[in-house]
Chains A and B, each alone.
Chain A
């Protein structure tokens, strides 16, 4: 695969975006970048450039700073790209404001890059094994500048659609591409558009679901922060295809940066005539509104989302009627995920045929995952469908830190399931994940290592579902609470043998009886941990032992002598001085003094305390 060349191609284009004769300093200002101090770095660069007058003269070259969106490798933030015309663009990682003057002085003025701060192998490996298609612009262009987007071919797809294609041709093209909904369900987008186009009404809506609520998911957020115009362009094309009269982006209010950038993008698109009453003089008109959600997970469910836009309480309703028939304000409504819309301009530009060559037989294109958990390089990655979990975890993610062993990966958040090591070579596509009890979901990818108790993890996700249930139907409202109660009992060492059977029964009952996807999929984490890690449940229940020694109630607070390396970390951290030992003796915990605060366990890197 030609990942490297794609990457380079993007970089060189970025140069051009700033002007061929310009040196460009691109600072990552996605949420990860900002959190790592990106704004200070950016400010410092500007100050330095001003101080040294680099903006005007730098060997007769003008120097510019640029903001970019998230580029994925958030663990190495702040990432700064420096491109000097004629030279390879170079990336500095973990840049702080204090490093800026030196970088400016050495690299920009003297043209001698500071080797020690440049991105290491990890960084390159992270990017090289990806296929950044939808994320192509993220981290490369300034998301607050429509020119940058247009320069990189933005809105060409829209022009093509409006000038040369009929709505039904657009739908046909999307159908042919095999694009499936990236929100998790994987419903063929073309089919959905076709049924949306079938209904006629005085008002029709196209809605973008940006209510990304899974714990550990930030794909949509990064896309909207890094390349908001791509999402808009996809929506406008979709709107044209189904003859929508207005569009809504339903976004979590917890994403202030994405909200801000979407507003900027919409305003700019209006100025350029890509939105409004008569888009590019085609006679088609569309306005897009941003509606901020109030932070309910269930509002990611399409019908609850529509109620929320209408100003009602976000509670799912029964179907039929489907949203395409009577959705928002009882009008035909097509609702797609952010990433789905992000794919649309690419399909139009490059053609369905090209697109459909990517991926597996039934799942086409690429998928963005947000890689988190016990992994060396947490961040945002994009891989073609069909890539294996092993590739993602070990090639891009860099494996498990602290020499711990990989245990499982939870795909799809609280609605998904976990996959154990034995299934590392599973290719990622909708069907195979579902068959194994996991789910593509929106794409959260949480890696867990051997120190994680799977019962406790199931309990964590159940806590999430129980508190996010809207309360409408008893299987979800009461079922999640009852399941949580059983799981809590198990982790407290009060589990009974029959609990496993009850959990299995409930998993089935809730799946069948719940009203919406939240309740139907809430038992998935329990179901899949029961499937792959049943012995962990059994050892909690029968032996009253947590194999990973995670569940505090089951801790014995004893040192395993074989594992102890006599580092004394536990001794240093014990607040009541209950641990004795030295560099020569293994540590011993005095149970009379121990207050079971669990600090020794957490500080031990060798899992010697159980």
Chain B
């Protein structure tokens, strides 16, 4: 892009053509006052404060946010004349503003206040024309005080352009103009809090703060969100009361966001922005607990650790390390998980370790690694903002990864990106995409759909097929398979018209970068491995024909992960099959590096891939002890009954967690662990980006970070786990793990580490070999007794133990609902809010119904993220047949 040179306030600067003066000034640290301009939002031009004097051919007054730069332009921000006019507008605004700064949470970080201060405003010429309308508090999280509003339009624009909702807009005319919802109904939105984040005054307020502190009292610590796998940066605002000098201890008072830190550009979802209260929940475990009889009683750390050490030693001596199992955590840091697997493998001498994401989709690690080494998973999530086409396959972005939705909408707004959404449900995704294709496939037909798209690409010659054939292996086999494939079958099996498929194929092969998000629905499908293989074929087909000069189509794949560190827990080897960095554990040579660093020899008979889930071993009476870190498998494991039964068979269970979960209640020893806010370390997001946590507060109560607990136990058991901080762990991990090689802990503070790009600078992508994936048919049939298929998935408002103990989230979404299609609901006489009994062959639960357009007839949907609702007791696979009926009476 062309660069334009100009002078603002005597400072010569160079910016890309098409930039407006305001943005050029921001980029060069020049201050222009303004209330409505926000770099991430479309220009509005309402506040009129950014008037500047511009000399192009002639000199005149322009508004900086609305005027593009031009070569040789001279801009003056503060001439006496401009100041006079600017003051006049401020005077008007202040004549309208209530000036209730003493009781306003925004005070100290308020745009209006700052500009008044900068301009040294004297008492004005006017009597006031204040509004005096009641403050709107119709929801537990957001408060709208319209008297303070300057109508900059930022919240309206954020809600519409970033969150895609448009829940609020301007109302009325003239001086009565206000922001509000349609017909003044209570705010019904995703509660992302974007309005609070962009509001320059105190009109929108975070109610969870509740007069908890003034802006200047807060210590602001940026860290990584502990919920989903997008890895947004959140800023913890902490304050000590009484003050620190009087011995006060900091507590987290609110979460804010920063547009310039992290990958999320200041956008968050409801969990990220309001889901922090669990940190100071009164239900946290404050001290270690030891089972004495049937009771868990508080004990000291020394006592608890001594007990664990003794028991583990005894079991190892009597039954061997193999009789101990370990479950790592999708929520703990990379360092902690690394130490966990090292502890299990070297101290306990067991390879029976696993994590829940691997239990849910055991094939995923291998396939993700495959996509990495072939160069398909080389992009970072943020790259989606520049997409040509976004393809969400089996992913409910709005519920599972809301901030990816924000990025997608940015691509749609600024780059005119296309959107393809393939899902069995009619998942909601609000966008203004001009080309928006929804492929609602029949369950079990996913491979057919992917094959049909590939056929459309090949038949339409949409990629350079010669190049594909030359640069890959086995392409003719794929082509032959697809040649024999009749598009009519596709329609019959998938229920999707050939036109839609052609359209999707054309969009995916448009020039530019496309991004494919492979969702949880695929990963947890019984045929997930095949579907992903088929998707990798699709990636290979598009990427092999890539021509850099022509900027032809290229596609990158992301795998949706459930939790903040579901990727990291696998990266650092908390699985039986891999050592840290996906080194094959059965391969003696790949064990060598690890053995050298660890200074131990890993015995051959221990290093076996075990396809059995740890809980299966327990059921078979092969486990005497189980060490669970930061997980609640009783509820989270897809088969709840199995876990419940298995845990009852294990003699000695150690659980370390922040809350007394269903699993912790069955433990012999419970250790209180610190939350993300109380520790350092790193998380790896679903785009393979390793980001660093910053410690904002001291551990609450007697809690300790997991890495410290593990080290304490190891030391007690006589092993030298001499780590003083997560940094020490990361230094070792870097040496051990091929995928984290090159990571420097201290540098992470400034810049995240994207392991796949680093990996690919050292390892050339391998040549891809096409596999022929037979469409096959997945037999999901509802029976006469159980006529509905139960689907489960993510929820926007909840995820696991943390959200369950956060009042803000439980008040927004107090109940887990069962979604029933409109037609089914009508047939059974079910209305919104009716109590419905859902019964499978295994168990039954009672939930309130939500009549929804998202599910098809014959399906019901329950979110599995409401931890207190054990949906997993119903399930016996990804698609469980159930029957539902309205509760009588």
Interface residues of A (CB under 8 A from B): 296, 298, 313, 315, 317-320, 466-475, 477-482, 485, 498, 502, 505-506, 509, 512-515
User: Is the Cβ of A471 less than 8 Å from the Cβ of B129?
Assistant: no
A477→B48 CA distance, assembly (Å): 12
Closest 6 CB pairs of A and B: A471-B177, A318-B45, A318-B66, A478-B92, A509-B88, A481-B175
Partner of B45, one of A470, A474, A478, A515: A515
Nearest Cβ in chain B — how far from A477, in angstroms?
A: 6
A479→B129 CA distance, assembly (Å): 10
User: Is the Cβ of B85 less than 8 Å from the Cβ of A512?
Assistant: yes
User: Is the Cβ of A477 less than 8 Å from the Cβ of B175?
Assistant: yes
A320→B88 CA distance, assembly (Å): 24
Closest to A297 in B: B173
Q: Can you list 9 residue pairs at the A/B interface with Cβ under 8 Å?
A: A317-B45, A466-B175, A471-B151, A472-B153, A473-B47, A473-B48, A485-B126, A498-B125, A506-B88
Given A471-B170, A471-B172, are A513 and B51 also a contact pair (CB < 8 Å)?
A: yes
User: Is the Cβ of B66 less than 8 Å from the Cβ of A478?
Assistant: no
Partner of B85, one of A313, A468, A509: A509
User: Is the Cβ of A474 less than 8 Å from the Cβ of B89?
Assistant: yes
Specify which chain A residues have a CB less than 8 angstroms from the CB of B63 in the assembled complex. Answer: 318
Closest to A472 in B: B46
Closest to A489 in B: B127
Closest to A315 in B: B170
Given A315-B170, A467-B173, A485-B129, are A515 and B85 also a contact pair (CB < 8 Å)?
A: no
Closest to B51 in A: A513
User: Is the Cβ of A318 less than 8 Å from the Cβ of B65?
Assistant: yes
User: Is the Cβ of B174 less than 8 Å from the Cβ of A467?
Assistant: yes
Specify which chain A residues have a CB less than 8 angstroms from the CB of B92 in the assembled complex. Answer: 474-475, 478-479, 482
Chain A interface helix/strand/loop/mixed: helix
Nearest Cβ in chain B — how far from A552, in angstroms?
A: 22
**B67 within 8 Å of A (CB atoms):** yes
Partner of A470, one of B89, B125, B177: B177
User: Is the Cβ of A480 less than 8 Å from the Cβ of B93?
Assistant: no
**B169 within 8 Å of A (CB atoms):** yes
Nearest Cβ in chain B — how far from A422, in angstroms?
A: 32
User: Is the Cβ of A296 less than 8 Å from the Cβ of B173?
Assistant: yes
Specify which chain A residues have a CB less than 8 angstroms from the CB of B85 in the assembled complex. Answer: 509, 512-513
User: Is the Cβ of B175 less than 8 Å from the Cβ of A474?
Assistant: no
A512→B89 CA distance, assembly (Å): 11
Interface residues on B, range: 20 to 34
Closest to B96 in A: A478
Closest to A512 in B: B85
Bits for B73-100, please: 1 = Cβ < 8 Å to A, else 0.
0000000000001001100110110000
Closest to A502 in B: B125
User: Is the Cβ of A515 less than 8 Å from the Cβ of B46?
Assistant: yes
User: Is the Cβ of B88 less than 8 Å from the Cβ of A472?
Assistant: no
Specify which chain B residues have a CB less than 8 angstroms from the CB of A467 in the assembled complex. Answer: 173-174
Partner of A513, one of B43, B48, B68, B175: B48
Nearest Cβ in chain B — how far from A320, in angstroms?
A: 7
User: Is the Cβ of A474 less than 8 Å from the Cβ of B129?
Assistant: no
Closest to A481 in B: B175
**B150 within 8 Å of A (CB atoms):** yes
Partner of B173, one of A320, A471, A512: A471
Specify which chain B residues have a CB less than 8 angstroms from the CB of A485 in the assembled complex. Answer: 126-127, 129
A576→B170 CA distance, assembly (Å): 48
User: Is the Cβ of B93 less than 8 Å from the Cβ of A474?
Assistant: yes
A582→B125 CA distance, assembly (Å): 52
A471→B43 CA distance, assembly (Å): 17
Specify which chain A residues have a CB less than 8 angstroms from the CB of B170 in the assembled complex. Answer: 313, 315, 471
Besides A318-B45, A478-B92, A509-B85, 13 new A-B residue pairs in contact (Cβ under 8 A), listed by A number:
A296-B173, A315-B170, A320-B67, A320-B68, A467-B173, A471-B170, A472-B177, A474-B48, A474-B93, A474-B96, A498-B125, A513-B48, A513-B89
Given A317-B45, A472-B46, A474-B47, are A480 and B174 also a contact pair (CB < 8 Å)?
A: yes
Which residues, 49 to 73 on B, are CB-close (under 8 Å) to A? 51, 61, 63, 65-68
A519→B43 CA distance, assembly (Å): 20
Closest to A479 in B: B92
Closest to B150 in A: A474
Nearest Cβ in chain B — how far from A149, in angstroms?
A: 38
Specify which chain B residues have a CB less than 8 angstroms from the CB of A481 in the assembled complex. Answer: 129, 174-175
Nearest Cβ in chain A — how far from B12, in angstroms?
A: 24
Specify which chain B residues have a CB less than 8 angstroms from the CB of A498 in the assembled complex. Answer: 125
User: Is the Cβ of A478 less than 8 Å from the Cβ of B48?
Assistant: no
User: Is the Cβ of B61 less than 8 Å from the Cβ of A512?
Assistant: yes
Closest to B169 in A: A313
User: Is the Cβ of A514 less than 8 Å from the Cβ of B173?
Assistant: no
Task: Determine which residue in A320, A467, A477 has the highest number of CB atoms from chain B within 10 A of its CB, and name it.
Answer: A477
Partner of A478, one of B43, B51, B129, B153: B129
Nearest Cβ in chain A — how far from B814, in angstroms?
A: 34
Closest to A516 in B: B45
Nearest Cβ in chain A — how far from B504, in angstroms?
A: 23
Nearest Cβ in chain A — how far from B626, in angstroms?
A: 59
A318→B93 CA distance, assembly (Å): 20
Given A471-B151, A473-B47, A513-B48, are A482 and B174 also a contact pair (CB < 8 Å)?
A: no
Specify which chain A residues have a CB less than 8 angstroms from the CB of B95 in the assembled complex. Answer: 478, 482
A98→B45 CA distance, assembly (Å): 60
User: Is the Cβ of A477 less than 8 Å from the Cβ of B151?
Assistant: yes
A512→B66 CA distance, assembly (Å): 15
Nearest Cβ in chain A — how far from B171, in angstroms?
A: 9
Closest to B172 in A: A471
Bits for B142-165, please: 1 = Cβ < 8 Å to A, else 0.
000000001101000000000000
A86→B92 CA distance, assembly (Å): 69
User: Is the Cβ of B151 less than 8 Å from the Cβ of A472?
Assistant: yes
Closest to B43 in A: A318
Closest to B65 in A: A318
Partner of A477, one of B45, B61, B66, B174: B174
Specify which chain B residues have a CB less than 8 angstroms from the CB of A317 in the assembled complex. Answer: 45
Nearest Cβ in chain A — how far from B72, in angstroms?
A: 18
Specify which chain B residues have a CB less than 8 angstroms from the CB of A320 in the assembled complex. Answer: 66-68
Specify which chain B residues have a CB less than 8 angstroms from the CB of A473 in the assembled complex. Answer: 45-48
Specify which chain B residues have a CB less than 8 angstroms from the CB of A474 in the assembled complex. Answer: 46-48, 89, 92-93, 96, 150-151
Closest to A314 in B: B173
User: Is the Cβ of B174 less than 8 Å from the Cβ of A505?
Assistant: no
Specify which chain A residues have a CB less than 8 angstroms from the CB of B51 in the assembled complex. Answer: 512-513
User: Is the Cβ of A468 less than 8 Å from the Cβ of B46?
Assistant: no
A226→B43 CA distance, assembly (Å): 42
